[in-house]
């Protein structure tokens, strides 16, 4: 199974103990293939350093479990536009479609409203976790 986590899920996985951190652990254990893109990784680093003000050393430490969990960072040229109000969300969807992901896991209500796009199911972390039970 191939899956993509939205940036908000990755952030929640490293700053809180909960469902998102449990899902990141599952990815690290190889229970599914977590795929990302340069856009998601860059956005993640930017948010951690600017919004959460992590110094460079702490940012590197925070990125370690994510790097271990991700099986592939895909470069793609797929452009998806005008699907979401936030153009950054279009980039997240593009990654999931390019990766031929089964699921895009997100807490973003704008993305969750879409439910499915080009075969990619868009679900919450809680619903994704429930698929393992």
* Per-residue model confidence (pLDDT) at position 2: 97
Helix, strand or coil, per DSSP, at residue 44? helix
Task: Give exposure, 31-54, as e/b (b: 16+ Cβ within 10 Å).
Answer: ebbbbbbebbbebbbeebeeeeeb
Rounded alpha-carbon distances, angstroms, from residue 83 to 44, 58, 69, 72, 80: 21, 35, 28, 25, 7
131 Cα distance to chain centroid: 17
- Give me the CATH number covering residue 42: 3.40.50.1010
> What is the edge-to-edge ordering of all strands in the sheet holding 116-117?
70-73, 33-36, 2-5, 103-105, 120-123, 116-117
Above 80 in pLDDT, residue 82?
A: no
Tens digits of per-residue pLDDT, 40-56?
A: 999 999 999 988 888 88
- In tens, the pLDDT along 16-43 reads 999 999 999 999 999 999 999 999 999 9
pLDDT band at 58 (very low <50, low <70, confident <90, very high): confident
Q: For 10-17, what is the mean pLDDT?
A: 93
Look at the chain and count its residues: 133
State residue 76's pLDDT score.
84
Q: How many domains does the chain have?
A: 1
- What pLDDT score was predicted for residue 84? 74
What's the mean per-residue pLDDT of the chain?
93
Which structural domain range is residue 44 located in? 2-130
Q: What is the pLDDT averaged over residues 126-131?
A: 96
């Amino acid at each position: 199974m191939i899956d993509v986590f939205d940036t908000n899920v990755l952030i929640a996985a490293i700053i809180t103990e909960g469902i998102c951190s449990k899902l990141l652990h599952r990815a690290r254990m190889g229970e599914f293939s977590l795929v990302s893109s340069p856009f998601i990784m860059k956005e993640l680093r930017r948010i951690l350093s600017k919004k959460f003000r992590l110094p460079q050393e702490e940012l590197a430490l925070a990125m370690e479990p994510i790097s271990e969990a991700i099986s592939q960072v895909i470069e793609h040229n797929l452009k998806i536009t005008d699907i979401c109000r936030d153009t950054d969300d279009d980039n997240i969807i593009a990654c999931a479609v390019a990766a031929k992901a089964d699921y895009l896991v997100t807490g973003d209500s704008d993305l969750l409203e879409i439910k499915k796009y080009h075969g990619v199911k868009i679900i919450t972390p809680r619903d994704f976790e429930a698929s393992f039970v």
